[in-house]
Amino acid sequence: MGRHITISPITRLEGHGQIDIVLDDDGNVEDCFFQVVELRGFERFLQGRPAEELPRITPKICGVCPGAHHMASAKALDALFDVTPPPAAIKLRRLFLDAHIAHSHLLHFFALGAPDFLPGPEAPKAERNVLGLIAAAGDEAGRLVLRARGHCQRIQGVIGGHPIHPVAAVPGGMSKALTEEERDTFLPWTSEIVAAARLGLDVFREHVLGNERYREMITGDVYRHETHYAGLVNDDGHVDFYDGRVRVIEPDGSELACFEAADYLEHIAERVLPWSYLKFPYLKAKGWAGLTDGPDSGLYRVNSLARCNVASGMATAGAQAAYDELYETLGERPIHGTLAYHWARLVETLYCAEAVHEAVRAPEITSPEIRTLPTATPAEGVGVVEAARGTLYHHYETDREGMIKAVNLIVATVQNNGAMGMSVKRAAEHLIKDGAADDAILDQVEMAFRAYDPCLACATHALPGQMPLRVRLCRGSTVERVLVRG
Ligand code: MG
Ligand code: NI
């Protein structure tokens, strides 16, 4: 009879879930499940509502990713009403989304991800958080990051109408132009956003790359999976959060597919497994082979490292230099080390910061030409953007009165669901020996999912609720220890 470890609640992620680790009689890992136990419901209760309400309802799916849902929804409505927004509206949407991504990435690195390295897994649990990080990195660093996040939120608030509940995007563009006065308030903020992004890269270089053990964790086997990757790339082949085609690559880096958002159902299918509320998307071209990696498995990964892997570079100069440093240092392409997601996230943070800096200085950003009025009868539309956590699909169908008949949402985190399950299992298998699983080891198991920056609120499209994550250690059906990590 084996024993059973449960990590529950798992912490420093958005949403709640648990990790179940089953040990055999010798105390080695027999099986491991990354479980998500929230209730979903958004796709159902959106039915019957006027389509144009969805950009204001779908951001309520999640308090961390509302900006991404607002944009994906607005783009789905553009497609639904067959209308192209004017250039200034697209520039405003891009500025809004890039500020959103910068804020989300800064939050993840400094508050959620970095405490795994600074102070590190062996530090007392009470210090393995943003306060422990600030104690190690310094007060001024902490203040800069908080100010930069605030600037990003305020930019979203001015453009979107509210920093957390955006309302401004409408089919065919935006409902409100940016005034010269509003734009002028942004100008002094953007250099601090760029500075915070550069600080993230400096902290990573010094405290993660400069530490031999952490470097081994990034490049070694415990956190490695050779998988497919997917993400948006634009016509220049660059990472693009707002628009482009979805590019999918093989584990060896060759292109498997490059498709328009509207064609996603030809390429992606979803599998349901009995032990999780999260579905498991996979590539139709490869088929479902379970939670396994390699070229014959349909599993693919999204989020920061996937975007960098499918692209050929970044559209801004500083981010391009950081991108080159990432690939030259790790010496492989695509990069398969899961903990490199943190580094790629910081490269993207710098890209978004530089893009925001440039966008607020573009003269057209204050143009009053912000909407093309739709005239078509709506029928069906797909909108896709890159959310912080990966590719986000909104797909709507309406009746002839424009009322929603069907909604399909495939959110970023869901696409990493299978990979997170594999990663947690592999880490547990390598790290737990003879039943020894102290707090530092369990934190290193959690590091396997935390690199993916999962948002389980988005993933289950859950109504707001408590967000704890647990780890249970069990022997057979006997729960031996329950570690509440909230
Ligand atoms: Mg869905
Ligand atoms: Ni979310």
- Looking at the CA of 66, name the nearest ligand: 2
Asked if 409 and 396 touch (Cβ cutoff 8 Å), the reply is no
- Looking at the CA of 164, name the nearest ligand: 2
Question: How many Å apart are CA 254 and CA 261, to the nearest integer?
Answer: 20
Separation of 416 CA from ligand 1 center, angstroms? 13
Question: How many Å apart are CA 454 and CA 14, to the nearest integer?
Answer: 6
Total-model pTM: 0.91
Separation of 387 CA from ligand 2 center, angstroms? 9
Separation of 260 CA from ligand 1 center, angstroms? 19
- Looking at the CA of 60, name the nearest ligand: 2
Place of tokens 């057979």: 476
Separation of 409 CA from ligand 1 center, angstroms? 4
**Tokens standing for 38?**
């929230």
- Looking at the CA of 62, name the nearest ligand: 2
**Tokens standing for 340?**
């490199």
Separation of 417 CA from ligand 1 center, angstroms? 13
- Looking at the CA of 407, name the nearest ligand: 1
Separation of 164 CA from ligand 1 center, angstroms? 22
**Tokens standing for 383?**
């909108």
Question: How many Å apart are CA 480 and CA 293, to the nearest integer?
Answer: 31
- Looking at the CA of 413, name the nearest ligand: 2
Query: What pLDDT, on the 0 to 100 scale, is given for residue 466?
Result: 35
Separation of 476 CA from ligand 2 center, angstroms? 34
Separation of 144 CA from ligand 1 center, angstroms? 37
Task: Give the side-chain half-sphere CA count within 13 A for 164.
Answer: 7
Question: How many Å apart are CA 72 and CA 90, to the nearest integer?
Answer: 13
Q: What does pLDDT average to in each consecutive run of 10 residues of the chain (486 residues)?
A: 70 68 83 66 89 94 90 98 98 98 95 88 84 85 95 98 95 98 98 97 95 96 97 98 98 98 95 78 95 95 98 98 98 98 98 98 97 95 97 96 93 89 90 84 89 78 40 55 44
Helix/strand/coil (H/E/C) assignment for every residue in the chain? CCEEEEEECCCCCECCEEEEEEECCCCCEEEEEEECCCCCCHHHHCCCCEHHHHHHHHHHHCCCCHHHHHHHHHHHHHHHCCCCCCHHHHHHHHHHHHHHHHHHHHHHHHHHHHHHCCCCCCCCHHHCCHHHHHHHHCHHHHHHHHHHHHHHHHHHHHHHCCCCCCCCEECCEECCCCCHHHHHHHHHHHHHHHHHHHHHHHHHHHHHHCCHHHHHHHHCCCCECCCEEEEEECCCCEECCCCCEEEEECCCCCEEEEECHHHHHHCEEEECCCCCCCCEEEECCCCCCCCCCCCCCCCEECCHHHHHHHCCECCCHHHHHHHHHHHHHHCCCCCCECCHHHHHHHHHHHHHHHHHHHHCCCHHHHCCCCECCCCCCCCEEEEEEEECCEEEEEEEEECCCCEEEEEEEECHHHHCHHHHHHHHHHHHHHHCECCECCHHHHHHHHHHHHCCCCEHHHHCCCCCCCCCEEEEEEECCEEEEEEECC
CB neighbours of residue 213 within 10 Å: 11
- Looking at the CA of 278, name the nearest ligand: 1
Residues, CB-to-ion distance under 5 Å, ligand 1: 409
Q: What is the dihedral of CA 15, 62, 303, 18, to 10 degrees?
A: 10
Separation of 390 CA from ligand 2 center, angstroms? 11
Separation of 38 CA from ligand 1 center, angstroms? 13
Q: Return the amino acid letter for 201.
A: L
Asked if 43 and 407 touch (Cβ cutoff 8 Å), the reply is yes
Separation of 287 CA from ligand 1 center, angstroms? 19
Asked if 100 and 67 touch (Cβ cutoff 8 Å), the reply is yes
Query: What pLDDT, on the 0 to 100 scale, is given for residue 468?
Result: 38
Place of tokens 């993660």: 208
- Looking at the CA of 42, name the nearest ligand: 1
Separation of 411 CA from ligand 2 center, angstroms? 8
Place of tokens 């690195």: 109
- Looking at the CA of 394, name the nearest ligand: 1
Asked if 152 and 197 touch (Cβ cutoff 8 Å), the reply is no
- Looking at the CA of 455, name the nearest ligand: 2
- Looking at the CA of 389, name the nearest ligand: 2
Q: How far is CA 213 from CA 124, 178, 305, 443, in A?
A: 19, 48, 21, 15
Query: What pLDDT, on the 0 to 100 scale, is given for residue 485?
Result: 40
Separation of 14 CA from ligand 2 center, angstroms? 7
Query: What pLDDT, on the 0 to 100 scale, is given for residue 128?
Result: 83
Please name the residues in contact with 278: beta carbons below 8 A apart, sequence gap of 6 or more.
36, 413, 414, 417, 456, 459, 460
Of 104, 24, 7, 90, give the one whose Cα is nearest residue 388: 104
Separation of 348 CA from ligand 1 center, angstroms? 26
Question: How many Å apart are CA 54 and CA 158, to the nearest integer?
Answer: 20
Separation of 242 CA from ligand 1 center, angstroms? 20
